[in-house]
A = this chain, B = another copy of it.
């Protein structure tokens, strides 16, 4: 295994502090960097752990979850370490029968009021291994990197609990939103509590920053986002403590929702590669920092090309209040580790 190339060996603020300052729009020596799904199949050391266990078994074992969370950090020294888990994990605490094959499968989807009444219980037990993993990662890292917890947004959780496997169009949830909006409201309210409970547990475990994934919000127009997903996201935010860690809000393909996402009240909005980063900064103004936004498939290019893409991204990112360098979506399994290394190092060198 390669030796670490992390920030602990460089002058300047500890990486955790760099991360938090960028999230809050305070001056930094260079943008902090991490990658969504940085613990994953593109790493041979991850695949070795994965061989022996199922995805859920890995999530539910704090040792394994902490270990695979730290693998990319040991190779590349990112400024943020995201805990290995899944947005659907908390739902197991509420009687949802969850499996992965390889995509999520739910044996008892919710489609009616009686189903909804059965959605009780607490997420805390189901995410206890994730919280324990956060504690172990924190113990190992100290201030050397920010530990990032996360939860699924109510709309995205609702998509999964109403339909399995989930269609690209979210046929069930979107259809229900037109035919039975009151039922969708109740479901979103309940799932907002689940998301908030998940995040509160992770805060208690020591998470330095929190990301909310509204992966499937892109099917909504700005008006309907406000009515459903946005309202539920505000509820999540309102249920968090006032002195919470910075919140990053991610919604894939959500160029059309950028202002609405900033309005929800996060410190950071994570945007994808489809939008010009400088244009995104202009649209959100000084309200939030931005995270993103390299095309995940750019990491399959030669190193010089990746460096040029990163340079362009960082130049445009200067228009934002603060910038956390990342991809526009998760690392793909087909990406070579060298591509991830080139990306991280190009950001790290920008501060020299």
Contacts and interface: CB of A to CB of B under 8 A. Distances in A.
B174 A295 contact: yes
Contact of A218 (B253, B296, B302): B253
Interface in A230-259: 253, 255-256
Contacts of A302: 179
Interface of A: 168-169, 171, 174-175, 178-179, 218-224, 253, 255-256, 273-276, 295-298, 300-302, 305, 332, 334
A334 B219 CA distance: 17
Contacts of A275: 221, 256
Contacts of A297: 169, 171, 174-175, 178
Contacts of A256: 255-256, 274-275
A209 to B, nearest CB: 26
Contacts of A223: 276
Nearest to A272: B221
Given A169-B297, A296-B169, A220 B274 contact: yes
11 contacts: A168-B168, A169-B296, A174-B297, A175-B300, A178-B301, A178-B305, A179-B301, A179-B305, A218-B274, A222-B276, A256-B275
Contacts of A305: 178-179
A235 B106 CA distance: 47
Contact of A332 (B169, B178, B273): B169
A304 to B, nearest CB: 12
A66 B320 CA distance: 55
Contacts of A274: 218-221, 256
Given A169-B332, A171-B332, A275-B256, A178 B218 contact: no
Interface centre among A253, A295, A298, A332 (most CB of B within 10 A): A295
A178 B300 contact: yes
A331 to B, nearest CB: 12
A288 to B, nearest CB: 19
Nearest to A296: B169
A350 to B, nearest CB: 21
A47 B207 CA distance: 54
Contacts of A295: 174, 178, 221, 224
